[in-house]
Structure formats: C-alpha cells, structure tokens
Amino acid sequence: MMSFTGKVKDEVSKLEENDMESISELSAIVQSVAIITDSIVISTENNSVARKIYNLFKRLFDVYPKITVRRGYNYNKKMIYILEIKKNILSILKKIGFESVIPSDFIIADDELIRVYLRGLFMMCGSINDPKTSRYHLEFNLSNLEYASFVCALLNDYDLNSKLLHRDNRYMVYVKEAEKIGDFLRMIGAYNAVMYYEDIRIYRDHKNMTNRLNNCEQANVDRIIETSNNQVKDIEVIENEGIMDLLDEKEKVAASYRVKYKDASLAELAEIISLETGNKITKSGLYHRFKKIKNMADKIRKKSL
C-alpha cells in the first residue's frame, strides 16, 4: 500500500509545466540528491518520479538516461530506480544553474519557479506524515548544511515556520504546524492531497475539541459532586452536634434541600427551591447560605480538636 508521501509524489510528478519551470524542477532534483562525477546519477523509490525525471532529461536536453532497477536493502525491500546520464554533463549542469551548493538566481527568479523548485525538492528528499497519525510533520532530508539553510530560508519566505535540525550526518528541514503543511501542499500543486489532508485535519480538530469539551464537562461534574459532598458533611456535623435550630429558616431550607438533592449543582438547587417553595432564590444567595453553614461546621470542628 502506497504511503501518503508516495501518493503526494505520485500526484505532483504528473503535473505539467513549461520549459523554464521544468529546468527549475530538474535543478532541485539534481541539486538535492544527484551523485555527480563523470556522470549524473539519480536514485528514487517512486516509479512515477523516475518516469518524470527521465522525461525531463529527454524533453529538455534530448538525453535518454540509462535506467537500472534493483531491490533496496531497507526493511520493506522497495524497488529503487537509478537513472544515469553520461552525455553533455557540463552543458546540462550549467543550464540547470548548478554552479555551487546554492542554485543560480535564474532558477528561483519568481514565485512560480520557486514553487516548482520546491516541488522537485519534495519529490526527491521530502516526506510527510499521513494526517491520520498522531502528529503533523513535513521534512526534507539533506546532506549539506549550506543547502539545508538555503531550503529552510526559502520555505520561510512563505511563512511556513520551518526549522533546521542536525541529525547524524544529515540535516533535516522540517515543518510541524498542520496549517503550514497544508499551505505547502497547495504551493506545490498537490490539490488532491490538500483535500484529503484538510478533511482529516478538520475531523481531528473537531474530535479534539469534542474531547476537550467532554473533559471540561466531566471536570465540572466532578466539582459539583465534590462541592455537594462537602456541603452535606457540613450539615451532618451540625446535626450531630444537635444545633440545627441555630440556623435561620432560610439556611435550614437550604440544608434540607441539599440533603434531598445531593447531585444538583448550586444553580439547579436554587431553581428547585424557588419552584417548590415559591420563594425566589439565586445561585449567589444559596452560596451565601451554605457559606454560613460551613462557618458554623468549621467552628464545631475546631472546638472538637
């Protein structure tokens, strides 16, 4: 089964662009992963991406890469597609702006070229977690610090809040915010992935909100029960002392209704008393009656210590 990363790469590898955009895309592909000696060697695990790279060299430079397919050594034994170009190496590198670690200015001269450049970069060294997983994560795995810093800055020109991390002998440029990852998918033209990603993100956000509300509601219930239990204990202390008559009539009514309706909140208890006695009592008024009951119970407790 294809991963979410694989689906995104498969989608964007099928997008069409003009020659200048294709040069920018190929520049990112070569700059990020190619091994360059007397040939250009590019490896990918994605069949659709391999076809894209083959067609780019063919269309732009009339060069037909040699393709070798072998099974990888990783745990899932995926197929690896290796493309090798041995013809017109220097000319090709010059035309795709490969002069140093950082691409030539004409490769990223405008907004559209930058978007296509990032698309090529993602196809080769990018990965993105399926939004169904527990965390949102987009990353680019790169081998050179200067180039990784360049990629990080390029992403942040679009307010994606990317960060750079040194891990083993590699450099990881990553984005953690769900909304920013969605923005990146839009930037590179992965619109099917965007729809899937946003649907899952909205569902997860709604589920999290529901859980937070449920937790909040449960916490409120717990507080109501604790408050009620404490009030009942205060009443029992006074009753056991045999001095309920020291309470005024309103406090006696509050005490009797609290014992009768132990699970009711103060607001609910005030409404019950108002309806059953015909005497209007507010939540605040009821609170002050129980406060007086508590003060009397506390005095009894202190005396018995």
In whole angstroms, how large is the CA radius of gyration of the chain? 34
Over residues 80-93, the mean pLDDT reads 92
Number of neighbours of residue 239 by Cβ within 10 angstroms: 13
Quote the pLDDT of residue 111. Answer: 93
For the ranges 103-107, 152-156, 198-202, 214-218, the lowest mean pLDDT is seen at: 214-218
Quote the pLDDT of residue 18. Answer: 94
Q: Is the pLDDT of residue 240 over 80?
A: yes
Quote the pLDDT of residue 77. Answer: 67
10 φψ region: left (φ > 0), alpha (ψ -120 to 50), beta (else): alpha
Over residues 198-205, the mean pLDDT reads 75
Q: Is the pLDDT of residue 151 over 60?
A: yes
Q: Is the pLDDT of residue 171 over 70?
A: yes
Residues 21 and 148 in one domain: yes
Confidence of residue 207 (pLDDT cuts 50, 70, 90): low
Residue 210 or 23, more confident: 23
Residues 60 and 118 in one domain: yes
| Dist CA 165 CA 39 (whole Å) | 31
195 domain-assigned? no
Residues 254 and 148 in one domain: no
Q: Is the pLDDT of residue 113 over 90?
A: yes
| Dist CA 128 CA 118 (whole Å) | 14
| Dist CA 163 CA 153 (whole Å) | 9
pLDDT digits 0-9 by tens, 256-283: 888 888 888 888 888 888 888 888 888 8
Residues 40 and 180 in one domain: yes
Residues 237 and 177 in one domain: no
Over residues 201-224, the mean pLDDT reads 72
Over residues 12-33, the mean pLDDT reads 94
Residues 105 and 245 in one domain: no
Give the pTM: 0.68
Residues 233 and 177 in one domain: no
- Of the residues 189, 214, 233, the one at which a domain ends: 189
Quote the pLDDT of residue 102. Answer: 92
SS3 at position 171: strand
SS3 at position 135: coil
Residues 171 and 84 in one domain: yes
Over residues 237-263, the mean pLDDT reads 85
The structural domain count of the chain equals 2
Q: Is the pLDDT of residue 210 over 80?
A: no
Over residues 64-90, the mean pLDDT reads 85
Q: Is the pLDDT of residue 194 over 90?
A: no
90 domain-assigned? yes
Quote the pLDDT of residue 94. Answer: 93
Q: Is the pLDDT of residue 305 over 60?
A: no
- Of the residues 189, 206, 230, the one at which a domain ends: 189
Quote the pLDDT of residue 76. Answer: 61
Confidence of residue 141 (pLDDT cuts 50, 70, 90): very high
**Range of the structural domain that residue 242 is part of:** 222-304
Residues 152 and 35 in one domain: yes
Query: Which helix (H) or strand (E) element contains residue 85?
Result: strand 79-85
In the chain the first and final C-alpha atoms are separated, in Å, by: 71
Over residues 45-68, the mean pLDDT reads 94
Over residues 11-17, the mean pLDDT reads 93
Residues 232 and 295 in one domain: yes
201 domain-assigned? no
Residues 238 and 90 in one domain: no
- CATH assignment at residue 122: 3.10.28.10
- Of the residues 189, 208, 238, the one at which a domain ends: 189
Quote the pLDDT of residue 147. Answer: 95
Residues 101 and 37 in one domain: yes
Q: Is the pLDDT of residue 79 over 90?
A: no
* Whole-number Cα distances in Å, 247 to 262, 282, 296, 299: 20, 19, 9, 14
For the ranges 1-15, 25-39, 49-63, 268-282, the lowest mean pLDDT is seen at: 268-282
